[in-house]
Amino acid sequence: MADAGVTGVVAKLGELAAEEATALLRVDAEIRALRRKLAYLQALVRGADRQRRGRASELLLLWLRETREVAFEVEDAVDEFHLRVEACRLGARWRRRRRWWWGWHRDAVSLVQALTTQYNSKDLLIFWANKCVLSPVLSIFVRHGLSNQISKINERIEELNQNKETYQIESSPSEIWSYASVEVDPEWYEDKYVIGSRESEFAILKDLIINKEGDISHRAVISILGERGIGKTTLAKKLYNDPDIIKHFEVHAWVCLPPHIRFREYIEIMYMQVSSQVPETPEENDSTIFAPGNEETTDMEFKLWQNLENRRYLVVLDGLVSISDWNSLFAVLPDTNCSRILLTTHLNVKEINHIDPQIAPIKLPYLDEKHGEELFCQRVFGTIEPPEIYRSKGYYKKVHSISTGLPLAITVLAGILRSKLFPMEWDVIFEQLESNGQPKPVRSIWYLAFDDLPHYLKSCFLYFASVSENVILYPDRLVRLWIAEGFVMPKKAETLEDVGFDYLKELVSRGLVQVMEKDAGGSIKLVAIHNLLHAFVESEAQDSSFLEIHHHANVVNPNAVRRLAIQNYVDGYVHIPNAFPKLRSLLCDFAEDQRSSSSSGELQPQSLWGNLAELCSRACGISENVSSNTLHGLHFLQGSRFLRVVDLNGLKMQKLPDVIGNIIHLRYLGIRNSNLEELPSSIYKLDNLQTLDVRKTNVGKTVDEFWDIEALRHVLAEKMLLPDCSVPLNNLMTLNGVVPCSLWDEKNCPLNNMIYLRSLSMSGISAAHTTALSAALRKMEFLLYLNLSGEFLPSNMFTTSSMRRLQVLILHGKLQGINDLPNDRYVLPNLTMLYLHKSEVSQHFVHKLATLPCLVEMELSAVSYSETTLFFDGFLSLARLKLEKVSMLKELVIGEGAMPMLSIISMYDCDSLKAFKALNGLEHLQEVAIYNMPEIVDNIKLQDEKLFSKIKCLTIPTIVTDRGGFPGRFVRMLDQLDHVVRVTVASESRCSDM
């Protein structure tokens, strides 16, 4: 697949042609000419890429491979040019920042060191020319070097064209069909075909799970069987989210079973979910009661058993691939009466028949033609009635024949056809999926779907191969990586992030990416791709040299690797060589080796991918006998000068090497879930850095000069000091996890230079900061997400017009002057989520909130309300309400006509609350979760039988789940622990990765 490689280089040449550097060095004409040649070559490559899906000749495959190599040569030349120009600019900046005599001394020392180390003659010339301020000489040298490289590349292109003619290689330019850009229909987030096509299976399974007749009293195992892509997980999700099933069980857990994971990780995934719903007793915390040997895995098994014992639970095990895994897991789930285990697997009946002989497995069949047509039409036409011409031409029969009734195949095929405007184009698609009137294998749909993608989406889709299968991703992180890689092309009046999200929505509309969860406003929150599509993408990425993917194998040819993803589940290390001279992206995620686990019985945070400490120790030449607790410095990055993306998760290290400042192409630096304590002072040299992500580390500050990097777009940390900065950061959109480091006034506040922020999360705010913070907020007209924590907080975000775009507001602290705000109503027309903690607001404040038109979720906790009676009127969009430890509250009243869309109410530890009155019937209410408040339950029973029937009275502190979202799968996301299975909770939704 050469198209993605050529496309990326053409885009990079476009960026370079527009830059000032090319004009200053007078090579812009050569760059533009080369770009034109590659654009023509790209048109031929796209057509050849389509041809190779069939019986392509060896000559065509060879020509494609050589074309890709030429594109890579162009990329190397461009990046080398950038490297030298940036080195020149950086040198000039250094000279301005230090005294000349000291600079001369340092330069002389550096030159001597360079002479004795790795520099060649060209590098020395550039180095010395730069230091001696010989900019004209350097300019001529760099221009001459780039011109020579372009000349050689032009010769290669001419040779390619000549070979194509000499050997009569057939490759015609790809045809451009009409394309209708379509928005993602929100209805697609729910797979409604379950209700129709799976109605009988749904009813049978629901009856088995709830068992109203009471004839299944044992811990039953209910199995859903079927091929990959048949809809097992979708059906299980519908059951898991069914209101009747939710109320029937005290404890719920959804566990996805990835194909490569240690048994210990399975146990911890279940334990993390269950323990969040069950309080541990003092006896459970006593390590002396654990099994002999005091081993950590045994401890977790014991705790999991205790938490589930004598409680009615529902555990979904999604995607079982091994009977041995089942046998191990089954042993740690207690045989509690009327509990249920719902199992989805593609194993056959004979393999799992012994699991529960009393209950026959339910095997999902392929969709029949009628239900397949319903799914197809829903995906193509949405709610619009399909034109009759499509039925008269027999298209629906062809869809059924080609897809064989596999729901995933129908969805992806619909994604191809929904962007085609005319039936004639549909005919062309069907011709490509048939051979001699017979349908090709289903996998041909994946090939065609990929080939049909616009060129700008192919690299974005291939990027999903950089993570392992069954991983759910935050789209924010994904889009940031795409931008850093250079995949996202700028559009007028749109940010790169907005364009990247449009790319993602387009992949969703084509059925290639699944939306796993929405936020309160209905936007995409979590995404994934199906295992079948992931296998295809992984194969395509490796075959096209787009990405090297390694699990537990050595990198064969480090000198040729351009992107490297290491995904390790089993081994404690993977050997990495000392240098990757052409590496652009390094994405690693490893699990710590068990030898580094605590043996004291305490749970330690674990990642899921392997021990990168040993990996890097070996890479740096450290002995294999070095303890797995060794902290290292990632020195093998020293030889990778072209790196643009470094994203490492679970790396055991205390500091980055200072050489990181020399990787001036770097745009994305992510070090998460590690021992990292400090960033090197050289980080300020990274003038192209867009994203710094050091969450789940100990990094508390960085050099002040870091905040002068004008390219910064996203900074995500835990509690990093925010110093004063003098440079306007007009590109900065995300500033999360910072604390003020000095007193502020209206003129002396760093946020005044960050007025284009979209996401701001700050803690440690005091009364001395509120005036300046309030003034800064009045300037932030693009803010979407605001999270403030401190002793005192400003309150003007409710009344200032600059907050009109705000969607999520999280406040931990007392709101200064909240009851004295002059406005009669609040100006937050787009606010969807509001969380207040220790805010001490009044009934008057709540009345003002009632008029907000888009508010969907609201939480009041811990002294957030200061009166004894809370009356709700209005709140026409509110769907979820949570009250937690509102100690002064005695009476809760929902007025007539208020909260017509309310579906979930949860109340925890409101000790004084004695009365709850709902005067409007709450027709949409599905669940009332009450914990540790028996008196109010009795009162509701006496006063409102209808409301009482919806109460899920909890004897244990269950976390109320957002059942509208996707309940599980193996999760590896930015704002969660490394392997927490996704159960969306109201308090966790505030951690959305903005």
Q: Please count the residues of the chain.
A: 994
Cα 701 from Cα 177, distance rounded (Å): 52
Burial of 459 (0-12, 13-18, 19+ CB in 10 A): buried
Which pLDDT score, from 0 to 100, does residue 784 have?
Answer: 96
Structure tokens at 270: 């279940």
Closest CA to 455 of 162, 246, 214, 174: 174
Which pLDDT score, from 0 to 100, does residue 967 have?
Answer: 42
Cα 69 from Cα 75, distance rounded (Å): 10
Which pLDDT score, from 0 to 100, does residue 847 have?
Answer: 92
Class of the domain covering 454-530: mainly alpha
Which pLDDT score, from 0 to 100, does residue 857 have?
Answer: 95
Q: What is the DSSP letter of 522?
A: S
- What SS3 state is found at 853? coil
Cα 230 from Cα 219, distance rounded (Å): 27
Which pLDDT score, from 0 to 100, does residue 7 have?
Answer: 64
User: Which one has a higher pLDDT value, 585 or 634?
Assistant: 585
Closest CA to 526 of 8, 967, 35: 967
Per-residue pLDDT, averaged over 272-281, amounts to 69
Does 48 score more than 70 pLDDT?
Answer: no
Which pLDDT score, from 0 to 100, does residue 968 have?
Answer: 40
pLDDT tens, residue by residue, 385-396: 888 888 888 999
Specify the pairing of strand 524-528 against strand 514-518: antiparallel
Instruction: Give the pLDDT band of residue 299 (cuts 50, 70, 90).
Output: confident
CATH (residue range 191-279+297-363): 3.40.50.300
- What SS3 state is found at 611? coil
Structure tokens at 170: 């057939």
Per-residue pLDDT, averaged over 729-752, amounts to 91
787 phi/psi in degrees, rounded to 5: -135, 110
User: Which one has a higher pLDDT value, 115 or 385?
Assistant: 385
CB 198 within 8 A of CB 226: no
Cα 487 from Cα 504, distance rounded (Å): 12
Per-residue pLDDT, averaged over 32-38, amounts to 75
CB 674 within 8 A of CB 652: yes
Specify the pairing of strand 759-765 against strand 951-954: unpaired
Cα 952 from Cα 338, distance rounded (Å): 17
Does 109 score more than 70 pLDDT?
Answer: no
Which pLDDT score, from 0 to 100, does residue 588 have?
Answer: 83
- What SS3 state is found at 717? strand
Which pLDDT score, from 0 to 100, does residue 823 have?
Answer: 66
Hey, which residues does 931 pair with through a beta bridge? 908, 954
Sequence-separated (6 or more) residues with CB below 8 Å from residue 340:
208, 209, 219, 220, 221, 222, 249, 313, 314, 315
Q: What is the DSSP letter of 364?
A: P
**Considering only 508-517, 618-627, 736-745, 952-961, which range has the smallest mean pLDDT?**
618-627
Which pLDDT score, from 0 to 100, does residue 962 have?
Answer: 40
**Considering only 318-327, 485-494, 613-622, which range has the smallest mean pLDDT?**
613-622
Structure tokens at 401: 């024949």
pLDDT tens, residue by residue, 909-937: 888 998 988 877 788 888 888 877 888 88
Specify the pairing of strand 808-815 against strand 785-793: parallel
Sequence-separated (6 or more) residues with CB below 8 Å from residue 467:
473, 565, 567, 587, 589, 972
Which pLDDT score, from 0 to 100, does residue 367 have?
Answer: 94
Which pLDDT score, from 0 to 100, does residue 971 have?
Answer: 40
Does 976 score more than 50 pLDDT?
Answer: no
Does 94 score more than 80 pLDDT?
Answer: no
Burial 503-533 (b: 16+ CB within 10 A, else e): bbbbbbbbbbbbbbbbbbbebbbbbbbbbbb
Which pLDDT score, from 0 to 100, does residue 154 have?
Answer: 79
Does 56 score more than 80 pLDDT?
Answer: no
DSSP element (H, E) containing 475: helix 475-485
Per-residue pLDDT, averaged over 35-45, amounts to 73
Does 774 score more than 90 pLDDT?
Answer: yes
User: Which one has a higher pLDDT value, 634 or 710?
Assistant: 710
Instruction: Give the pLDDT band of residue 572 (cuts 50, 70, 90).
Output: very low
Per-residue pLDDT, averaged over 84-99, amounts to 60
Which pLDDT score, from 0 to 100, does residue 255 have?
Answer: 82
CB 617 within 8 A of CB 640: no
CB 601 within 8 A of CB 585: no
- Torsion, Cα 84 89 94 100, to 10 degrees, reads 100
Cα 276 from Cα 52, distance rounded (Å): 52
User: Which one has a higher pLDDT value, 992 or 452?
Assistant: 452
What single letter denotes the amino acid at residue 318?
D
Structure tokens at 828: 């937050």
Which pLDDT score, from 0 to 100, does residue 162 have?
Answer: 82
pLDDT tens, residue by residue, 881-918: 999 889 899 999 999 989 999 998 988 888 899 898 88
CB 872 within 8 A of CB 850: yes
521 phi/psi in degrees, rounded to 5: -90, 0
Burial of 636 (0-12, 13-18, 19+ CB in 10 A): buried
Per-residue pLDDT, averaged over 800-821, amounts to 90
User: Which one has a higher pLDDT value, 973 or 705?
Assistant: 705
Cα 408 from Cα 532, distance rounded (Å): 9
Instruction: Give the pLDDT band of residue 414 (cuts 50, 70, 90).
Output: very high
**Mean of pLDDT over the chain:** 78
Structure tokens at 600: 């004291």
Sole residue written with tokens 């550097």: 21
Instruction: Give the pLDDT band of residue 755 (cuts 50, 70, 90).
Output: very high
User: Which one has a higher pLDDT value, 257 or 195?
Assistant: 257
Which pLDDT score, from 0 to 100, does residue 694 have?
Answer: 95
Structure tokens at 471: 């991983």
Determine what percent of the chain is predicted with pLDDT higher than 70.
74
Does 19 score more than 70 pLDDT?
Answer: no
Which pLDDT score, from 0 to 100, does residue 10 have?
Answer: 63
Per-residue pLDDT, averaged over 279-285, amounts to 48
**Considering only 75-89, 355-369, 505-519, which range has the smallest mean pLDDT?**
75-89
Domain boundaries, the chain: 1-106+136-167, 191-279+297-363, 366-452, 454-530, 833-954
User: Which one has a higher pLDDT value, 659 or 734?
Assistant: 734
What pTM was estimated for this model as a whole? 0.83
Most confident of 132-146, 253-267, 505-519, 954-968: 505-519
79 phi/psi in degrees, rounded to 5: -70, -35
What single letter denotes the amino acid at residue 624?
E
